Structure formats: structure tokens, C-alpha cells
Structure 1
Amino acid sequence: MTHNVLVVDDEPKLCDLLASALGQNSIQVFTAGNGLHALKVLECEDIDLVISDWRMPGMDGPQLLAEIKSRFPQLPVIVMTAYSTVKNAVQSMRNGAFDYIAKPFDIDELDITVSKALQFRDILKDNQRMRAELDEHQQIDSLIGDSPSFRRVLHAIDSVRESNATILLTGESGTGKEMVARAIHKHGNRADKPFVAVNCAAIPEGLLESEMFGHRKGAFTGAVADRVGRFMQADKGTLFLDEIGEMPLALQAKILRALQERVIEPVGDPRERKVDVRVIAATNKNLLDAVANREFREDLYYRLNVFPIPLPALRERVEDIAPLARHFAHTLGATAGKRFTGFSAEALQAMAHYSWPGNIRELQNCVERATIVASGAVIEEEDLPAYLFASNAGTSGALVTEGSVPADLEAALAEVEKAYILAALAQSNGVQAAAAQLIGISERSFWYRLKKLGIHVDKIVR
């Protein structure tokens, strides 16, 4: 396992010496010439250990130690000093240092001290991961349902979880693609290794390559230190590439090479790095359409589509709405200190008749609001958000019934579209980006539709 260590000293030769000594032990070394520079590195990089000089110009060792303990309380710090007195050592330990070493130091002694500090850091990270898994327990347990379409998903998960095959999860926004990816990882043969999630649509295009593969110091403006990319972070574990359909074409070729040859090249570093990563990709786009439109590489599509798992929309598994809603009410109610026994028949009927454009994510949000409003042990129809009923009423007149045809098709479709957008805006409290995500379209497309339909967000009644 590779660890990242930050060495802070105003003597460049000492930084180089420590980088050379520590680099022999699968340690990636970052360096900083002063305390302020060190804090900038800590804000950008995932550092496991800081080794800092005691006396430095500007922000000295004690000041840096205080800042680290304030901002990164679980990050171990080893203090170096040529003025190794009992007083300095005791003071540094009292202020939160893990240990101290005296200059000039013995390399073997340094290795032992660093090894102990990194073991301590690994224990803390394991504890954090276990706590995170407990937090995610609600999400993983939310793989609830007995509908035929969802049983097929559960069967697919069970079939592929022990393999290393690349998986492509498809489905509308909010159908639980990341939940499924985490369940596959947790119940597979890499469960004790990292699970690293990347939202390809949330990272600026100019930073995406560095984010994926890492970079060397000085590779571009702003690259003040080496950076480990997501592929290396997920080594031996699982890399979840969400919204893979939004990845720029230029980077798709490099992702393809990483999948085919299991090697990566950090930006600014010609040396290849081997990686052992199980990739799970997800998209709400039709990638075959994107391939036809030359927006997505055909060879990458087939490399990703080794084991496809399509996730059904919630409206396609109506029989699962009630058990999912009960599960959310139970877990969310417990968090809020409330105990719910279930939903009234009228409330369940209202939820079953709603189209849920935001799918499971929207259902959870709806139930969370209901648990806040409800005064009794049973969640009633009036406890549900008003947009459930407004959307149903707004769309019912526009839908085609047996034996009827709309006189104006464009107007009828516009009414349906408007009803969905108003429901999404109501659920997202008027936040347009969140509303766009709920109905599975881009923000630009959402803004265009607002203008086309004459919807003014500031006039929406919530």
C-alpha cells in the first residue's frame, strides 16, 4: 500500500535526503519549504503523515502543528529538531505530535518512527471506513423490492459480485446506480479494499485527466506537488465511474487503455504505473446513441459493457414503493427520534399513483419530509408533499386515454413536460440544478425548457 508523506523543512537538501530515504519504502513524498506552503499541499493532497522541522522562518513547527491539529485532527505529525531538548519534545507531544526525531537522525530510527506513525494512520483510516460503511448501511439495505424487474437486478448482482468483470449500470437518475455499485463491492472479493467513486460530470474537463491518473509536480500551472489519481487510489479495489457518458472524447482513449492494459501514465510523467482496479461505470444516457452521434467511443463502450445491469425506474416497479417507503420511514424516523408504524392506505395509494421522475432518490426525499411533518405513528396522506398531488392533477388531463386523441399534440406534450418540471422544482425547493438532475436532463436543457414553457422559478409556490 502506498502512503503519502509530507516533509516540511526550509533546507532543500534535507527534503531531498528524506524523500530519497522514504521513497524506498513504497512512500510517495511531498515537500514544502515552510508552514504556509505545507498547508496548501494538505488542502490539495491526501497526506498520511507530516514530518516537520521545529524551527522555520515564517510559520514555524509549533505553529504548523497547531494548524494541522485544528484542521486535520487525525493526521499524525512527527517533529524534527536539531535542538532536541526534553522541553521541546514534551511540548510537541503535549501539542499533539505523534513523535519527534532529533537531527542528525539515524535512518533506521527514522524508518521505525515513520512506520509506527503510518500504522497508526492506517488504523484511523480503517475506523473511518468502518464508520462510513455503517453510514452507507442504510443505502445498501435500500436494495429492497420483490418486483420482477428488481429481482432481475438482484440476481445480476449475485452473479457478478465475485468476479472482476467490468460492469455497466444504466438507468435514469435516482434509480440507485451508486447503491448497486457499492453493494457489488461490499459483497465481492475486493470488499476489504478501497471503493473510489468519481462523478465524471462534476469535474471540470481540464482537471479530469489529472483527477483520474494523477500528475507530477510542475506538469502544469498549479501543480505544486505530485498527486495520486483515482485509479491508483482504487488499486486492488473498485473504481466507480459515475456519469461516464459525460466524459470528454479526448480522455476516453486513455480510459480505454487503462482498462485494456491495466496501466496508467500520470500527467507529466512518462513512466507507466500498473494498476489492479475493478471498474464499475454508470450512466443515465443511451451510450449506443452517443456512439452513433460520435460522442462516445465505440471501443470504450464495448469494453465497459462486459456485464450490463439495467436498473428499472421506480414507476416500473410500483409494487416496491410501499416497502421502500416503510424502510425509509423506519430509518429516517429513528434518526429523528420518532417511531413510525407505517403509512395509511390513502398515503400509499397517493405514492403509487405518482410517476416519481426522480426515482428512489425522490422517494427518500419525500418520505424524509413526511417524517418531519407527521405528528402520529402513521404517516397520513396530508403529511406527504403537495407536489405529489399537483403533478398527478397536472398530467392527468394531458395523458392520452383509450379512445381519445389530443387535438393539439404539441400543446399536450408541453403540458406533460411542464408538469414534470414544476414537480421537480417543487421537490428541489426551486434549485434548478437539482431539479434537472431529478428528471435526468442537463442544466442547459433544463434552462431552455424553463424559457420555452414560460416558467418563472421565483414564482413557484413551495
Structure 2
Amino acid sequence: MTHNVLVVDDEPKLCDLLASALSQNGITVFTAGNGLHALKVLEVEDIDLVITDWRMPGMDGPQLLAEIKSRFPQLPVIVMTAYSTVKNAVQSMRNGAFDYIAKPFDIDELDITVSKALQFRDILKDNQRMRAELDEHRQIDSLIGDSQSFRRVLHAIDSVRESNATILLTGESGTGKEMVARAIHKHGNRADKPFVAVNCAAIPEGLLESEMFGHRKGAFTGAVADRVGRFMQADKGTLFLDEIGEMPLPLQAKILRALQERIIEPVGDPRERKVDVRVIAATNKNLLEAVANKEFREDLYYRLNVFPIPLPALRERIEDIAPLARHFAHTLGATAGKRITGFSPEALQAMARYSWPGNIRELQNCVERATIVASGAVIEDHDLPAYLFASAPAAGNAILSEGTRVPPDLEAALAEVEKAYILAALAQSNGVQAAAAQLIGISERSFWYRLKKLGIHVDKIIR
């Protein structure tokens, strides 16, 4: 296994000496001349061990150790000091150092200490990986439902999981697209390889290309070291591109080339790299409409849409609400130290009547809150959030009720429904836009766009 070690010392000759000695053992060595530079390296590189001097100008060894333990608590640190007093050694160990070595040091002693620290790091990484796999199993177990619409999703997963076809998951926010992607990966032919998820809407546009394809040191301001992009991280495994519809047009061309030719080019590096990645994309947008509006490349759309899987909204699978709610209550109750056995009939009826604009994500948040406030083992209707009982439009009769006239302007009618949901979410979140966006299951960027489109001024919302 290849390891990355960061050496921090204000003496360049000592950094070079350590780099030369450690690289002979197959270790990749990064160097920093001071504590602040070291922290910048740690922010962009996957470092397995830090070896730092005790006395340095500016941020010294003890201060750097404190920062590392605060930001990267599982990263082992070895402290070097020419002042090898018992007091310094004991103090560094108390503050979280893995070990210390005295200068001048013996190379064999250094190798032994570094080897022990890296073995310790490997154990921590294995534990993290096993916990992640357990979390992934729990997420796959959350693919619960027996409705006809959801059985079609399960059948599609079973059909495509062993292939390498590109998949496009569509559906409203909160319908479980990432859980479906993880299920496909976990039960497919790449299960033992990485699953890498990228939220295309959450990364600033200026950093998205570097995030996807990586960059070389010095390629742009702030590129203090080489960085491996998400495509290379997912090599031989699965790359999940969430909210692909939010990807800027200039980057779409490079994503298309990566999908067609399986070749990427890191920023600032003219050398091409081959990748073997199974791509699963997801969107809550109508990509064909985006293509018509010149907001999404048509050729990329057809490259992604090899095997489409539409995910139904929760209001379209009402019979799945009760089993999903029971599953969430069981798992969340165990986390909160409560034993929840189920829901009262009144509570189940209230949840079945509600339209769930935020879909499964909103249901999970609702059950989590009810689990916290419930005084008994059964969740009652009064334990549920008050907004479930508000007079918001329901899924089936949001616009029409029996005997009403069909409105002449469909777009205007849909805008009124959208505005009603957003106003209700803002009222419930006390005007906090990020919380309101999360409540209805859309990104903050999409929420701000809708505010502008619908002419909603948040400072005028009555809280």
C-alpha cells in the first residue's frame, strides 16, 4: 500500500534528507516549511502521517499538532525535536502525538517509528471503510416498498446491476436517487471497487473541472500540490454524478469526452489519463426541456440516457409510506436510545394524506422529529409536525377538486402551487432559506432561482 507522509521543518536540507530516506521505502513525501503551509497541504492531499519539527518560527510544532488534532483527529503525528527532554516528549504525547524522535536521529529508528505510525493509520482506515460499508448496507436496506411503481424500480436495478451501462436516474429531489445508485453499485460487478459521489450543484463552478479531473501543482492559484480528481478516484468503480442538470455547459463537453473515450486530462497537465468508470447520473430536472432551452448538451443527454430509471414521487406510492416510516422509526429510535414499535392509525392516516413535496427525505426528517418528541413507544398524530395538518394542496387535488373548472393557464396554475409550497416551507423554517430548501428537497441554488422566478421576497415573509 502506498502512503503519503508530510514532513514539516523550516530547514530545507532536513526536509530533503527525510524525503530521500522515506522515499526509499516506497513512501510519497510532501514537505512544508512551516505550520501554515502544512495545513494548506493537508486540506488538498490525502496524508497518512505528519512528521513535524518541535521548534519553528510562526506556528511551532505544538501549535501545529493542536490544529491537526482539531481538524484531522485520526491523523498520526510524529514530533521531532533537538531538545529531547522528557518534558517535551510527555507533553507532545499528552497533546495527541503518536510518538516523538530526537534530533539527530538514527535512520533505522526513524524507519521503525514511521512504520508503526503508518500501520496505526492503516488500521484506522480499515475501521472507517468497514463503518462506511455498514452505512452503505443500511442505505440499501432503506430501499423499502412494495408498490407497483417501486417494484418497477427494483426490477430495473436487478436488470442493469451486472452491466457497465451508463444509467440516468430521474425524479424529484428526495426520491432516493443516491440510495438507488449505491444499490446498483453494491450488487453489481464493481462492488469491491470505489463508489464516488459528486454533487454537481454543491461545487463552485470555478472548481468543478479540477474536482472532476484533478490538477497539477501550480495549475492555478491555490494549487499547492497535485490533486487526483473524482474520475481517477472512481477508477474501476462507480462515479455517481448527482444533479447533473446543474453542470455548466463548458464542462459538459469534457464530461462527454470522458464518457465516450474513457480519457481525462487533469487541469494544467497535457498528459491524458485512461479511466475505467461506470457512470450513474441523477437529476431532478427535465433534461429534454433543458436541451431545448440550450441549457444542456443534446449529445451528453443521449450518452447519459443509455439506461434510464425514473423514480416515483412518494405521493405516487402511498402504500409505501407506512413501511418506510416504520423503518425510519426503528433505526432512528435505536440511535436516539428509544424503542419505537410503530404508529397509531391516526398518525398513519395523517402521513398518507400529506403530499410529501420533499419525498422520502422529508418523510425521514418528519419521523426523526416525531421519534424525538414521542413520549411512548407508539408515535401518535400529535407527535407529527404541525405542517402535515395544514391546508396545503394535496397531490391529487392540488389544483382541481370535483366539480371545479379546469384552469385555462396550466403554467400559471402550477406556479401558484409551487409558490404555495415555497411559502409554507419558508414559514416553517422561520425564513431561513437553506432550511426551507432542505425541507422541500431541492438545492439552495434551485431554491434561490425559484424565489426570483416567482417574485418571492423573503424579508416580507411573515414568520
TM-score (norm 1): 0.85
Separation in structure 2 between the aligned mates of residue 342 and residue 229 of structure 1, nearest angstrom: 45
Work out whether residues 197 and 241 of structure 1, in 8 Å CA contact, stay in contact via their aligned partners in 2: yes
More displaced 10-residue stretch of structure 1: 19-28 or 353-362: 19-28
Separation in structure 2 between the aligned mates of residue 365 and residue 44 of structure 1, nearest angstrom: 33
Do the aligned partners of residues 391 and 454 (structure 1) sit closer, same or farther apart at CA in structure 2, a change above 3 Å counting?
A: farther
More displaced 10-residue stretch of structure 1: 338-347 or 75-84: 75-84
Q: Paired residue for 2:461? A: 460
Q: Paired residue for 2:372? A: 372
Paired residues in the alignment total: 462
How far residue 314 of structure 1 moved from its aligned partner, in angstroms, is 0.7
Q: Paired residue for 2:424? A: 423
How far residue 121 of structure 1 moved from its aligned partner, in angstroms, is 1.6
Secondary structure of the equivalent of 2:112? helix
How far residue 146 of structure 1 moved from its aligned partner, in angstroms, is 0.4
Separation in structure 2 between the aligned mates of residue 129 and residue 373 of structure 1, nearest angstrom: 33
CA deviation map 1:158-199 (0-9, x unaligned): 233333333221111000111112222333344344332211
Secondary structure of the equivalent of 2:115? helix
More displaced 10-residue stretch of structure 1: 184-193 or 361-370: 184-193
More displaced 10-residue stretch of structure 1: 223-232 or 204-213: 223-232
More displaced 10-residue stretch of structure 1: 22-31 or 116-125: 22-31
Do the aligned partners of residues 84 and 188 (structure 1) sit closer, same or farther apart at CA in structure 2, a change above 3 Å counting?
A: farther
Q: Paired residue for 1:28? A: 28
Do the aligned partners of residues 80 and 165 (structure 1) sit closer, same or farther apart at CA in structure 2, a change above 3 Å counting?
A: farther
Work out whether residues 153 and 311 of structure 1, in 8 Å CA contact, stay in contact via their aligned partners in 2: yes
Do the aligned partners of residues 428 and 277 (structure 1) sit closer, same or farther apart at CA in structure 2, a change above 3 Å counting?
A: farther
More displaced 10-residue stretch of structure 1: 383-392 or 206-215: 383-392
Structure 2 stretches of 5 or more lacking a match? none
Please say if 1:151 is aligned against 2:141.
Answer: no
More displaced 10-residue stretch of structure 1: 332-341 or 422-431: 422-431
How far residue 317 of structure 1 moved from its aligned partner, in angstroms, is 0.9
CA deviation map 1:131-169 (0-9, x unaligned): 234345543321100011111211222233333333221
CA deviation map 1:58-98 (0-9, x unaligned): 43445433443344231122445677789877776665444
Do the aligned partners of residues 232 and 4 (structure 1) sit closer, same or farther apart at CA in structure 2, a change above 3 Å counting?
A: farther
Do the aligned partners of residues 109 and 444 (structure 1) sit closer, same or farther apart at CA in structure 2, a change above 3 Å counting?
A: closer
Structure 1 stretches of 5 or more lacking a match? none
Q: How does 1:202-351 map to 2 (within 5 A)?
A: 202-351=202-351
CA deviation map 1:89-143 (0-9, x unaligned): 7776665444556777787876665455333322211212222343455433211
Separation in structure 2 between the aligned mates of residue 409 and residue 231 of structure 1, nearest angstrom: 42
How far residue 450 of structure 1 moved from its aligned partner, in angstroms, is 4.9
CA deviation map 1:180-229 (0-9, x unaligned): 12222333344344332211111111111112222222211122233232
Do the aligned partners of residues 238 and 428 (structure 1) sit closer, same or farther apart at CA in structure 2, a change above 3 Å counting?
A: farther
Separation in structure 1 between the aligned mates of residue 301 and residue 408 of structure 2, nearest angstrom: 42
Please say if 1:162 is aligned against 2:128.
Answer: no
Do the aligned partners of residues 18 and 323 (structure 1) sit closer, same or farther apart at CA in structure 2, a change above 3 Å counting?
A: same
Do the aligned partners of residues 11 and 398 (structure 1) sit closer, same or farther apart at CA in structure 2, a change above 3 Å counting?
A: closer
Secondary structure of the equivalent of 1:196? strand
Work out whether residues 394 and 415 of structure 1, in 8 Å CA contact, stay in contact via their aligned partners in 2: no
Work out whether residues 362 and 440 of structure 2, in 8 Å CA contact, stay in contact via their aligned partners in 1: no
How far residue 290 of structure 1 moved from its aligned partner, in angstroms, is 2.2
Separation in structure 2 between the aligned mates of residue 395 and residue 310 of structure 1, nearest angstrom: 18
How far residue 291 of structure 1 moved from its aligned partner, in angstroms, is 2.5
More displaced 10-residue stretch of structure 1: 20-29 or 44-53: 20-29
Do the aligned partners of residues 441 and 324 (structure 1) sit closer, same or farther apart at CA in structure 2, a change above 3 Å counting?
A: closer
Work out whether residues 388 and 423 of structure 1, in 8 Å CA contact, stay in contact via their aligned partners in 2: no
Secondary structure of the equivalent of 1:206? helix
Secondary structure of the equivalent of 2:231? helix
CA deviation map 1:386-434 (0-9, x unaligned): 2222244688986223443358878755543333223333554533234
Separation in structure 2 between the aligned mates of residue 461 and residue 374 of structure 1, nearest angstrom: 29
More displaced 10-residue stretch of structure 1: 366-375 or 49-58: 49-58
CA deviation map 1:295-324 (0-9, x unaligned): 222332233223322211111111101111
Work out whether residues 196 and 239 of structure 1, in 8 Å CA contact, stay in contact via their aligned partners in 2: yes
Work out whether residues 214 and 266 of structure 1, in 8 Å CA contact, stay in contact via their aligned partners in 2: yes
Work out whether residues 370 and 384 of structure 1, in 8 Å CA contact, stay in contact via their aligned partners in 2: yes
More displaced 10-residue stretch of structure 1: 113-122 or 100-109: 100-109
RMSD: 3.5
CA deviation map 1:262-296 (0-9, x unaligned): 33332222233343333222111122222233322
More displaced 10-residue stretch of structure 1: 31-40 or 54-63: 54-63
Q: How does 1:171-190 map to 2 (within 5 A)?
A: 171-190=171-190
Work out whether residues 395 and 415 of structure 1, in 8 Å CA contact, stay in contact via their aligned partners in 2: no
Separation in structure 2 between the aligned mates of residue 107 and residue 189 of structure 1, nearest angstrom: 45
Separation in structure 1 between the aligned mates of residue 444 and residue 78 of structure 2, nearest angstrom: 47
Do the aligned partners of residues 147 and 429 (structure 1) sit closer, same or farther apart at CA in structure 2, a change above 3 Å counting?
A: farther
Separation in structure 2 between the aligned mates of residue 398 and residue 414 of structure 1, nearest angstrom: 11
Work out whether residues 5 and 30 of structure 1, in 8 Å CA contact, stay in contact via their aligned partners in 2: yes
Q: How does 1:354-365 map to 2 (within 5 A)?
A: 354-365=354-365
Do the aligned partners of residues 382 and 96 (structure 1) sit closer, same or farther apart at CA in structure 2, a change above 3 Å counting?
A: closer
How far residue 253 of structure 1 moved from its aligned partner, in angstroms, is 2.2
Do the aligned partners of residues 17 and 235 (structure 1) sit closer, same or farther apart at CA in structure 2, a change above 3 Å counting?
A: farther
More displaced 10-residue stretch of structure 1: 19-28 or 418-427: 19-28
Work out whether residues 390 and 423 of structure 1, in 8 Å CA contact, stay in contact via their aligned partners in 2: no
CA deviation map 1:362-399 (0-9, x unaligned): 11111222223333332222322222222446889862
Secondary structure of the equivalent of 2:390? helix
Do the aligned partners of residues 180 and 395 (structure 1) sit closer, same or farther apart at CA in structure 2, a change above 3 Å counting?
A: closer
Q: Paired residue for 2:130? A: 130
Do the aligned partners of residues 428 and 129 (structure 1) sit closer, same or farther apart at CA in structure 2, a change above 3 Å counting?
A: farther
Separation in structure 2 between the aligned mates of residue 22 and residue 189 of structure 1, nearest angstrom: 37
Do the aligned partners of residues 295 and 317 (structure 1) sit closer, same or farther apart at CA in structure 2, a change above 3 Å counting?
A: same
Do the aligned partners of residues 111 and 213 (structure 1) sit closer, same or farther apart at CA in structure 2, a change above 3 Å counting?
A: farther
Work out whether residues 359 and 441 of structure 2, in 8 Å CA contact, stay in contact via their aligned partners in 1: no
Separation in structure 1 between the aligned mates of residue 162 and residue 326 of structure 2, nearest angstrom: 31
Work out whether residues 355 and 395 of structure 2, in 8 Å CA contact, stay in contact via their aligned partners in 1: no
How far residue 245 of structure 1 moved from its aligned partner, in angstroms, is 1.2
TM-score (norm 2): 0.85
How far residue 361 of structure 1 moved from its aligned partner, in angstroms, is 0.6
Do the aligned partners of residues 182 and 112 (structure 1) sit closer, same or farther apart at CA in structure 2, a change above 3 Å counting?
A: farther
Work out whether residues 362 and 441 of structure 2, in 8 Å CA contact, stay in contact via their aligned partners in 1: no
Secondary structure of the equivalent of 1:56? coil
More displaced 10-residue stretch of structure 1: 199-208 or 438-447: 438-447
Separation in structure 2 between the aligned mates of residue 425 and residue 338 of structure 1, nearest angstrom: 31
